[in-house]
């Protein structure tokens, strides 16, 4: 059963995962950005975890994600702040009024998060951003939805990892890395790398 408690645990699991990978994300950002992506993501999800842990048992799934969104935004000054805050807010809106989430709800939530990031940042596929992990993940989850939650989220996680890997062959045309142009080739986008971690953490906490 996926309820508010499970979503709180999901936020906590994302925070733990990002905390573990913080240095690697900063190193990736050091190559094509300003070396703060791991710090930004761990501050954001750390604040989100603390805030959702403080909610009482009357909080519903929408409240959990909206609380995470607000605290993420307040904690992060980098561009990932508004992008993930929008993702979490859209995810919250997509499950409004539901106390428990079915497979379709979880997939709709993931897709709303991806669309939120795209609406907010206006990046298209192939521009070497987190969108290159989020959009394929959202599509893959939708395609596998009839096979159940575990398969849908595995497909999403695999697609996110493949998408992050594929950013190595892309030239950045959005965000801070844009100024590097061709020199961004050969390096994985940090936001796509962290997106794959976030989506895998969601899979693990919602299906294991
Ligand atoms: P900043 O660039 O402000 O230091 P971060 O280091 O936290 O922010 O995040 C950088 C990541 O944000 C990039 O690797 C990229 O994936 C993502 N990003 C930047 N601009 C956009 C955008 N317009 N749309 C989607 N993702 C973006
Ligand atoms: Mg940065």
Condensed to tens digits (0 to 9), the pLDDT of residues 88-134 reads 999 999 999 999 999 999 999 999 999 999 999 999 999 999 999 99
Residues 135, 156: Cα–Cα separation, whole Å: 9
Which tokens in the block code for residue 61? 């799934």
Residue nearest ligand 1's atom 6 by CA? 37
**CATH assignment, 4-207:** 1.25.40.340
Residue nearest ligand 1's atom 27 by CA? 129
Residue nearest ligand 1's atom 4 by CA? 78
Residues 26, 41: Cα–Cα separation, whole Å: 10
> CA 135 → CA 17, 33, 118, 138, 196, distances in Å?
21, 22, 9, 5, 11
Burial of 45 (0-12, 13-18, 19+ CB in 10 A): buried
**Cβ of 18 below 6 Å from ligand 1:** no
Q: Per-residue confidence at 184, pLDDT binned at 50, 70, 90?
A: confident
Atom of ligand 1 nearest to the CA of 131: 25
In terms of pTM, does the model score above 0.75?
yes
pLDDT tens-digit map of 41-98: 999 999 999 999 999 999 999 999 999 999 999 999 999 999 999 999 999 999 999 9
> CA 184 → CA 33, 78, 137, 164, distances in Å?
9, 19, 23, 14
């Amino acid at each position: 059963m996926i309820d508010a408690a499970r979503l709180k645990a999901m936020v906590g699991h994302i925070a733990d995962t990002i905390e573990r990978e913080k240095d690697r994300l900063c190193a990736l950002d050091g190559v094509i950005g300003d070396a703060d992506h791991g710090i930004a993501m761990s501050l954001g999800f750390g604040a989100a975890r603390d805030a959702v842990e403080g909610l009482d048992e009357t909080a519903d799934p929408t409240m959990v994600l909206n609380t995470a969104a607000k605290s993420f935004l307040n904690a992060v000054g980098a561009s990932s702040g508004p992008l993930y805050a929008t993702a979490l807010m859209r995810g919250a809106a997509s499950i409004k009024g539901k106390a428990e989430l079915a497979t379709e709800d979880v997939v709709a939530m993931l897709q709303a998060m991806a669309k939120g990031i795209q609406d907010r940042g206006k990046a298209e596929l192939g521009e070497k951003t987190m969108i290159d992990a989020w959009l394929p993940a959202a599509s893959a989850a939708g395609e596998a939805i009839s096979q159940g939650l575990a398969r849908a989220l595995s497909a999403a996680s695999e697609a996110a990892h493949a998408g992050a890997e594929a950013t190595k062959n892309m030239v950045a045309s959005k965000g801070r890395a844009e100024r590097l142009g061709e020199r961004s080739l050969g390096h994985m986008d940090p936001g796509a790398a962290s997106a794959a971690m976030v989506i895998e953490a969601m899979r693990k906490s919602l299906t294991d």
